[in-house]
Amino acid sequence: MEIIKIKGRKKLTGTIEIGGAKNSAVSLIPAAVLSDEATIFNVPDISDIKALHEITEYLGASFERDGDKVIVKSEGLECKPITLEHSKKLRASYYFMGALLGKFKHAEMYFPGGCSIGARPIDLHLSGFEKLGATVSLDGDKYIIDADKLVGADIDLRFASVGATINILLAAVYAEGKTIIRNAAMEPEVGNVIDFLNSMGAKVTGKDTSVIEIEGVQSLSGGLTTVIPDRIEAGTYILAGVMNGEDLKIDHVVPEHIKSLTDILEKMGADLKIYDDYIVVNKVPSLKPVNVVTEPYPGFPTDLQQPITSLLTQADGESLVTENIYENRFQNVQYLVQMGANIEFDGDDDRTIRVKGSTPLIADEVVTTDLRAGAALILAGLCAEGETTIKEIKHVLRGYTKIITKLRQVGAEIYLEDV
């Protein structure tokens, strides 16, 4: 089992380079099989991508990785059922539903895996496929999605789901006629997929808006794209900089993508200098409390809710954090409390916490329950007194490229140990 040890309170200075966005890359790889050959640059080196590599090859396509470039060739792609093991490896395995349905009008797979942060149903994905003319049935636990043909439809999403928007897009590019997705997710990762599909010859408009229109095509040619910078990785290191930074430069970011975070940090009195594609962060003597509410983009991202909670323990006063996207995304709280934080649930629905700061954090042995909870505990460890041990670190390695190396390079005392 791999664990992380962190000796806290070290100054962080130098440059951290942000890699390609996990949540883009994990949809671009399944999208790649829609064309015969696709090249994707800036692919992050995380275990979720290794899992997609395995599934892509299992399906008969080739996956070549050269540094951060990935080439997927789909000549040999077969419409095979995706096994239970492959389906459960990661959340984004579900993008093969849309891609195989688009390409072969048939897909078979199980409910996807991913972090345990709520029920995470996929009903919007499946009803989207049905509106395009597919039937969805269950064979035991396996979904069978089948269509004689896909026909464009007007699909109004109940919730602006990132996963459902992308999955419907992947199926609809090969549907006959026009598909409209209303209340579509506007996350930048969706825009990355739209650009990629259009590079293959798809006809998709409405990027960065809540109404996406797809004019179906009969064939797609080679695709080319670059994964956008990971706004969640950038946000995590910016938070580390607010806690302990001295001229800490977070490089290769799109500041607009993290405006909801930088606006809140500026309200707290953080010292951020924002340039075209990098941000420089310095620790300040005191921070003001603030209220955080997670929302679909461009609102505050749920993926940064747990990380910012670690920072809020260091603000002088009471902050409220409300999680609107997932019902079980506070599993970091008990460990922060164990380290000395003062956090209580507010109200009956367990959707809001009250964080009373500032409380010094003291190192302890804590456990990562999911990817962003792990990032939150690393941040807590970086500002705690003493040596923190973090178990179940595999969750973090799924989503953060070389996190140990990147933090060590700027002065953190952080080590990975195999025990």
- How near is the Cβ of 161 to ligand UD1 at its closest, in Å? 3
The smaller minimum CB distance to ligand UD1, of residues 5 and 120, is found at 120
State both tokens at 165.
């928007």
Cα→Cα distances 382→47, 213, 288, Å: 24, 45, 20
Binding site for ligand UD1 (CB under 6 A): 23, 26, 91-92, 118, 120-125, 159, 161-164, 185, 301-303, 325-326
- How near is the Cβ of 344 to ligand UD1 at its closest, in Å? 24
- How near is the Cβ of 299 to ligand UD1 at its closest, in Å? 10
The smaller minimum CB distance to ligand UD1, of residues 12 and 261, is found at 261
> Among all residues, whose Cβ is closest to ligand UD1?
163
The smaller minimum CB distance to ligand UD1, of residues 186 and 280, is found at 186
**201: Cβ contacts below 8 Å, ≥ 6 apart:** 217, 219, 220, 221
Cα→Cα distances 97→40, 94, 139, 168, 178, Å: 20, 5, 15, 9, 20
The smaller minimum CB distance to ligand UD1, of residues 181 and 383, is found at 181
State both tokens at 107.
């897909």
Give the Cα separation of 188 and 257 in Å (integer): 7
Please say if 79 is a catalytic residue. no
The smaller minimum CB distance to ligand UD1, of residues 184 and 383, is found at 184
- How near is the Cβ of 7 to ligand UD1 at its closest, in Å? 30
Crossing angle between the packed helical segments 371-383 and 305-312, to the nearest 10 degrees: 20
Q: Is 268 left (phi over 0), alpha (psi -120 to 50) or beta?
A: alpha
State both tokens at 356.
């009373």
Q: How many residues does the chain have?
A: 419
For residues 366-377, one letter each, b for 16 or more C-beta atoms within 10 angstroms of the residue's C-beta and e for the rest, the string is bbbbbbbbbbbb
Q: Which of 115, 145, 287, 325 is catalytic?
A: 115
- How near is the Cβ of 331 to ligand UD1 at its closest, in Å? 14
Query: Contact, 363 vs 4, CB < 8 A?
Result: no
Query: Contact, 18 vs 254, CB < 8 A?
Result: no
Which of 102, 94, 110, 107 is CA-nearest to residue 48? 94
The smaller minimum CB distance to ligand UD1, of residues 36 and 303, is found at 303
The smaller minimum CB distance to ligand UD1, of residues 124 and 280, is found at 124
Which of 89, 107, 106 is CA-nearest to residue 26? 89
Cα→Cα distances 182→120, 197, 378, Å: 20, 19, 38
- How near is the Cβ of 370 to ligand UD1 at its closest, in Å? 10
Which of 339, 344, 328, 332 is CA-nearest to residue 395? 332
- How near is the Cβ of 157 to ligand UD1 at its closest, in Å? 8
- What is the Cα Rg of the chain in Å? 21
Catalytic residues: 115
